[in-house]
Structure 1
């Protein structure tokens, strides 16, 4: 079987190729394509979002391939039309946003994805952001190293940080990442509230957390961490009205999707003290523009979309997509099929 391994600078082509070879009883013929993400940002390509490389590159590399494993390569209507022998595209992301699912289904190509590949990394990062914001770690470190400022005033009672133990932390969204965050916070001794209309309340309670509504969560939480999917329902979920529900000085963390926040009220909320700190790993525009209003706002922690980035995430993603190729080669059902209608074909 001929397989395309289209890797990038994170999930490397070699990782994909080695994982696929380990899954198959007979050595496959593997063609390789190296894509420039994340050294070069992803973007829309041929009607799909968040892709890296060109349709022409993928078409050339796909010649004769029956299956493809990738993270970022664009699989568009044009690509499927040029690869009539293709039957499986396995994408090592939480959702195959770089694949035209309608065109794949029409072409009889199964598309799989890799849920949970970065859950451990993202959960650890979110907890780190909560701790960093509550205890003023990045700001005080930068002031000491950059300015030589020994901020003794931060030891004053009114300026002191807040412990996680006995703090109330609200989690908005309770998928694979949110549930991991909850269990870690409970181990710290925090009281954890969860708002997710799709979560099983019994499971939330079993994890040591309390299910509740979003407005109640916001009113009661010292820190709020966002873990919801971005949908029409959750776009701008935390807006000015909901920010006003937070206790004065509360911390807000977003490592999920930039679109969950309405950014307009955030600078003033920070300057007024309504928000004690804001920790962001995702943004409505990535990267933020030079005139980004939050650059000059106080108590902002900003990282460049790193929450899911770990070596283990890349290795796990390669294994997940390779396992789907193994299932295909053995005639087994795919574990994470994004376009089940393709089975009718």
Structure 2
């Protein structure tokens, strides 16, 4: 048995190896042969590789590293049709991300390879970051910091018309109510906010138990002074918040997107911000990453920007390694995987 830890500079190969070794040692199994590959992300941006959307590294280096490998644990390696075809010994790809977007699942199934993923690995980090963006936007923290460092004392931000709002007593709308949304709701309610959520897949009884009011999306946008996006990006949710829906927001609303750039139609945003219809916008994700030099929002007021950092905590990296290591342990013990992405592979008959 040979395991490849195809890590990067966030979920490091050493973290993967340590987590898998710990998992296997608990069951008294002999440790397998390990190989390591370090991919360039995040020092180099991820992007499309062949038919997969978000990956780091090349097919050639991955094929070479996979020689004789049965199990690969990775975050970003590009598992394409070509890679699967060149790796006949491969049986499991354990992806340490919330979704295996760097894997051609159809190709994996054709080649009889199970693919697992790591849901919830960054939920605490992403939730905390969304709350931080919200507070930064509402209270103009980033703008005040930048101007003070330039020698400008913005005492005028205490003027009534310039001052921000509070979360206490505000209505906060969460678009998506999964693992991240539920943590955000808990924090927002601790501030004293009334929390709405729009998610057609949410459990109504669970939301009510959390003190959250489930409503349809249009109602949420009409009623919320703060809106934070936490939905998955699919064909159904692409540009979910479009020009019409942006027009439903109350004057001066704050909009936060730390989920996926494609959820939000960026074209109407400059005018909405310049006119004051949208009070502030906080973004950690974008329709194009990295953002281009001529990005339309670059010189627009009341925009907070961060470079896709919501999940960037050391705890996230350790959780990612631990979740995937647990899947490797289940696989080697012949148990059912907890987070199998291509369940149809089980009909292929390959051990």
Q: Deviations over 1:232-254 (max 9, x none)?
A: 22111112211111111110000
Secondary structure at the residue paired with 2:248?
A: coil
Q: CA deviation at 1:133?
A: 0.7
User: What is the alpha-carbon root mean square deviation over aligned residues?
Assistant: 0.8
Structure 1: distance between partners of 2:307 and 2:300: 17
> Among 163, 169, 174, which residue is 1:160 paired with?
163
CA distance in 2, matches of 1:86, 1:302: 41
Distance 1:243 1:76 in 2: 38
Deviations 1:295-314 (A, max 9, x none): 11000000000001110000
Identify unmatched segments of 5+ residues in structure 1.
none
- Deviation of 1:46 (Å): 2.3
State the partner residue of 1:240: 243
Corresponding residue for 2:257? 254
Residues 1-345 of structure 1 aligned to structure 2 (within 5 Å): 1-24=1-24, 25-146=29-150, 148-345=151-348
Q: CA deviation at 1:219?
A: 1.1
94-103 or 300-309, which deviates more: 94-103
Which digits, 9 at most, give the CA deviation of each residue in 1:235-290, with x for residues without a partner? 11112211111111110000011011111110010010001100000000001110
Separation of aligned partners in 1, 2:139 and 2:22? 45
Partners of 2:255 and 2:54 lie apart in 1 by: 26
SS in 2 for 1:294: coil
CA distance in 2, matches of 1:240, 1:80: 42
Give the Cα–Cα distance (whole angstroms) in 2 for the partners of residues 187 and 220 of structure 1.
20
Residues of 1 paired with 2:5 and 2:329: CA distance?
14
Superposition TM-score, scaled by structure 1 size:
0.98
| Structure 1: distance between partners of 2:101 and 2:237 | 18
- Give 1:21 deviation, angstroms: 1.1
Superposed displacement of residue 23, structure 1: 1.5
Equivalenced residue count is 344
- In 2, the alpha carbon distance for the partners of 1:214 and 1:110 equals 36
CA–CA separation in structure 2 for the residues paired with 1:237 and 1:333: 35
CA offsets 1:15-60 (integer angstroms, 9 cap, x no match): 0111111112211100111100010111111211211111111111
> How far 1:156 sits from its partner (Å)?
1.1
TM superposition shift of 1:202: 1.4
> Is 234-243 or 118-127 further displaced after alignment?
234-243
- Cα distance in 2 for partners of 1:62, 1:172 equals 40
